[in-house]
Structure 1
Amino acid sequence: MDSIPEQFHDLFERETFAHFATMMPDGTPQVTPVWVDYDVEANRVLVNTARGRRKEKNVGRNPKVSLSMVDPDDPYRFVSVRGEVDELTEEGAVEHINELARRYMGVEEYPGLDDEEGARVQICIRPEAVATGQG
């Protein structure tokens, strides 16, 4: 298992988007831009989505994923993670999406939360390989 180096933790504290890759049923990759978070103590990268969305379906079937993110202020500084989803949980997922909405949108609550059909879910990713670059 690998972890995110401390000098890159700031990317998870700012409005940094990640590209999240999962595998479709036919084996082709599916990539989605996502809001992303990092639980330092648990060493888990966190993505939040709604039950029934493609990301959630894909990782439920195949937990192998990857994601990459580029520093919005320096396109040559990046973090890339390959890992495995070791938990899909609804516990704390609404609070987490609201926390992400504060960071990414500057609002207290994620808009449209009451209109979603599926419950919110956190996708918890255990990093197996981490690559970083510094510009």
Structure 2
Amino acid sequence: MKRDPHIALSITDPKRLERYLEVRGTIERIEDDPKLDFINSMAKKYLGVDKYPYHQPGDERVVVFVKPEHATYQG
């Protein structure tokens, strides 16, 4: 990602496969997340738990900030 900051993300609705979102852009910055703040906040929001339950010792987490430049969607 540091060598080539271009990125594309594709998200499909598992209940309606014809519904999707694709975002293309460039990475603005990458931040370490040693305290797991971001993944724990996502676990709280989507799983209803305070700590991400699938973290393994030795896992290293980062947060990638993307500047969106183009989006395509359907549904």
Counterpart of 2:65? 124
- TM-score, normalised via structure 1 length: 0.47
Amino acid at match of 2:67: R
Consecutive aligned runs of 4 or more in structure 1 exceeding 6 Å deviation: none
Q: Which runs of 5+ in 2 are unaligned?
A: none
Q: Which runs of 5+ in 1 are unaligned?
A: 1-58
1:80 is aligned, of 22, 30, 33, to 22
Distance 2:55 2:30 in 1: 19
Shift of 1:91: 5.7
Counterpart of 1:68? 10
Counterpart of 1:101? 43
Question: Taking every aligned residue pair, what percent have the same amino acid on both sides?
Answer: 28
Amino acid at match of 2:72: A
Higher helix share: 1
* Pair 78,115 (structure 1): closer, same or farther in 2 beyond 3 Å: same
Report the aligned-residue RMSD.
Answer: 2.3
Report 1 or 2 for greater relative contact order, CA contacts < 8 Å, sequence distance ≥ 6. Answer: 2
Distance 1:93 1:68 in 2: 27
Shift of 1:64: 0.6
Rg bigger for which structure? Answer: 2
How many residue pairs were aligned? 74
- TM-score, normalised via structure 2 length: 0.78
Is 1:115 the counterpart of 2:49? The answer is no
Amino acid at match of 1:70: T
SS of alignment partner, residue 75 of structure 1? strand
